[in-house]
Amino acid sequence: MARRFTPDLRWSDVTPKADFLNRRQIIAGVAALGLAGPAAAKLGYVPSALSTDEKPNTLEEITNYNNFYEFGTDKGDPAARAGALTVDPWSVEIDGMVGRPGSYGLADILSGVTLEERIYRLRCVEAWSMVVPWIGFPLSDLLARVEVQPSARYVAFETLLRPEEMHGQRGGLLDWPYREGLRLDEATHPLTILATGLYGEAMPKQNGAPIRLVVPWKYGFKSIKSIVRISLTDRQPPTTWNMMQPNEYGFFANVNPEVDHPRWSQATERRIGEGLFAGRHPTVKFNGYGDQVAALYAGQDLAKDY
């Protein structure tokens, strides 16, 4: 995948004027984060050389076409309903095979961290994709600080369980809380980030405020939102979609046009925002990040380990 260093790329350069203006209204709805001061405070960050050079989707698209089943199953539900979520105060429990377990406040997690803008594609298992200018930092930074023990082999993540605010959790659609996991070498890969914002602002609630995972070479369901727990373990952890439909959703979930979902092809994708008549794009293995990540799976049969 082509990459470029984008020192001068600002959201206003890549966002149509209407969205630029509309953005202010959307940002007004973004919750105040203690660490960032007022709701609309810009996050300081540096651009990352790991970005794709593709044109990002607009903020409007990124914040109005979402999967966040805690707020409903329609793509518009998270934008309509995630406003109910309280994201300040927020803490993340880090436990299991670590030298420094504990409950870490968000400000704690972000202290000393350099936030980077990483323009990554999110490629959903339902065969649509978006390019998002995330703001985040490598998960490996956090894991190093909590001193992962040598016996640890996997990282498990959990989303907040709060049915009073996440009305989707009042029903039994999924086995709440939403859970995901990565093998430790995947979790510590430099492309794997914890994102706390996008388009230079604190994370919109519908996108997983205040902190979520982004693993760009995997299908979007791996990129768990609104994380409250990170556990280090020596066993492959149970994960929400895999528990629900193991033949459809594997633990690895690497983007792979050669392995179809049992109910639809994964060979092409629709780019959100291109319109109904735009052609589909061929899906690239590992979402285009093969040069960086294929070595993680040397010797593994990815048709079996899907």
Please tell me whether residue 225 binds ligand MTE under the rule CB under 6 A: yes
Residues binding ligand MTE: what is the number (CB under 6 A)?
Answer: 17
Dist. CA 302–CA 257, nearest whole Å = 11
Site for ligand MTE in 115-144 (CB under 6 A): 122, 124
Q: Which of 6, 223, 266, 287 is in the footprint of ligand MTE by CB under 6 A?
A: 223
Least distance in angstroms from the C-beta of 190 to ligand MTE: 21
The two tokens of residue 212 are: 């979520």
Instruction: Rank residues 45 and 69 by Cβ distance to ligand MTE and give the closer one.
Output: 69
Please tell me whether residue 269 binds ligand MTE under the rule CB under 6 A: no
Give the contacts of 126 (CB within 8 A, at least 6 positions apart). Answer: 264
Least distance in angstroms from the C-beta of 198 to ligand MTE: 8
Least distance in angstroms from the C-beta of 144 to ligand MTE: 25
Please tell me whether residue 283 binds ligand MTE under the rule CB under 6 A: no
Instruction: Rank residues 159 and 239 by Cβ distance to ligand MTE and give the closer one.
Output: 159
Please tell me whether residue 253 binds ligand MTE under the rule CB under 6 A: no
Please tell me whether residue 221 binds ligand MTE under the rule CB under 6 A: yes
Dist. CA 260–CA 258, nearest whole Å = 6
Residue closest to ligand MTE (Cβ):
220
Q: Which of 90, 157, 178, 286 is in the footprint of ligand MTE by CB under 6 A?
A: 178
Instruction: Rank residues 69 and 217 by Cβ distance to ligand MTE and give the closer one.
Output: 69
Report the phi/psi class of residue 151: left, alpha or beta, with left for phi > 0 and alpha for psi in -120 to 50.
alpha
Contact 48, 10 (CB under 8 A): no
Contact 234, 153 (CB under 8 A): yes
Per-residue burial over 108-123, b if 16 or more Cβ lie within 10 Å, else e, is ebbeeeebbbbbbbbb
Site for ligand MTE in 38-97 (CB under 6 A): 66-70
Instruction: Rank residues 192 and 223 by Cβ distance to ligand MTE and give the closer one.
Output: 223
CA-based nearest residue to 273, from 56, 17, 26? 56
Site for ligand MTE in 181-210 (CB under 6 A): 207-208
State yes or no: cis peptide before 47, omega within 30 of 0. Answer: no
Q: Which of 43, 215, 224, 230 is in the footprint of ligand MTE by CB under 6 A?
A: 224
Dist. CA 181–CA 103, nearest whole Å = 19
Q: Is 91 exposed, middle or buried (0-12, 13-18, 19+ CB in 10 A)?
A: middle
Least distance in angstroms from the C-beta of 253 to ligand MTE: 10
Q: What does the binding site for ligand MTE look like in residue numbers (CB under 6 A)?
A: 66-70, 122, 124, 159, 178, 207-208, 220-221, 223-226
